[in-house]
Structure 1
Amino acid sequence: MHLLCTLDTLAEDVSKGFQLADVSLVAVNKCGHIYVYLNQCPHRGVPLEWQPDQFLDLDKNFIQCATHGALFRIEDGECIAGPCPGEMLTKIPCKVEQGEVWINLSSLAAAI
């Protein structure tokens, strides 16, 4: 397991980008649940953010691709609008323990 961040750096309804070696990740705290994905649009393979740590749409309900505006559900990473409906962001399993967000590096290696 690898420590990604502490919960105090990922407030509710906030997204944040992380760089681990040459892998870029996005984490979102939605309603107290943490979701982590590979920072890569399944349509074009490009990073998702508009600018650093800006992954969410204006209403903070979806992850939005800056390249073409595709919207992905935060809870499961499925594209619900844009050029790649039904395609999925690559989810990285995580767990929260004692205020820290942990990811499994072996699952990350399998995802890329």
Structure 2
Amino acid sequence: MDTTGAVEERILCPLHDIPDGKARGFPGRPGGFMGLLAVRRGGAVFVYVNSCPHIGVPLEMMPDRFLDGAGRHILCSVHGASFRIEDGYCLSGPCMGDSLEAVPARIDVGGMIRVPADAGA
């Protein structure tokens, strides 16, 4: 927090840089080792730490390949776990019942996706 009590944020990208129904990966905070992923659904965006709750591996094997073929779920490419986009809850796979770590995100008046500066530690 800064001295005014506001949470320090960083910009991921403009919302329009993520096509509707698609996902994109981002590096974590500077010096951190865990990246982030963002999924766009219309005017909403869902952001998570890019780490499978089963063993902590990144979810994608190829850049920005986070969703199943239909674009309905986030997939772990290592073990095939399937997660709901809206809340990160694991529907199937070795971590069934666990959830991805959600990152608070907002879209500012200029259309930029903002997350806490320390997200992806």
Describe how 1:1-112 pairs up with structure 2 within 5 A. 1-20=9-28, 21=30, 22=32, 23-97=34-108, 98-106=110-118, 108=119, 112=121
Amino acid at match of 1:65: C
Aligned to 1:8, what secondary structure does the other structure show? helix
Give the structure-1-normalised TM-score.
Answer: 0.91
The structure that is helix-richer by fraction is 1
Question: d(CA) in 1 for partners of 2:13 and 2:106?
Answer: 11
Amino acid at match of 1:102: R
The structure that is strand-richer by fraction is 1
Structure with higher RCO (Cα < 8 A, 6+ apart) = 2
| Matched residues, number | 109
Question: d(CA) in 2 for partners of 1:90 and 1:24?
Answer: 11
Question: d(CA) in 2 for partners of 1:47 and 1:24?
Answer: 8
Deviation per residue, 1:31-54 (Å, 9 max, x gap): 331000000000010000130000
Question: CA-atom RMSD, angstroms?
Answer: 1.3
Identity %: 40
Amino acid at match of 1:13: G
How far 1:67 moved relative to its partner? 0.3
After the TM superposition, list the runs of 4 or more consecutive aligned residues in structure 1 that deviate by more than 2 angstroms. Answer: 20-23
Give the structure-2-normalised TM-score.
Answer: 0.84
How far 1:84 moved relative to its partner? 1.1
Deviation per residue, 1:39-76 (Å, 9 max, x gap): 00000100001300000001100000000100000000
Which consecutive residues of structure 1, in runs of 5 or more, have no partner in the other structure?
Answer: none
Aligned to 1:88, what secondary structure does the other structure show? coil
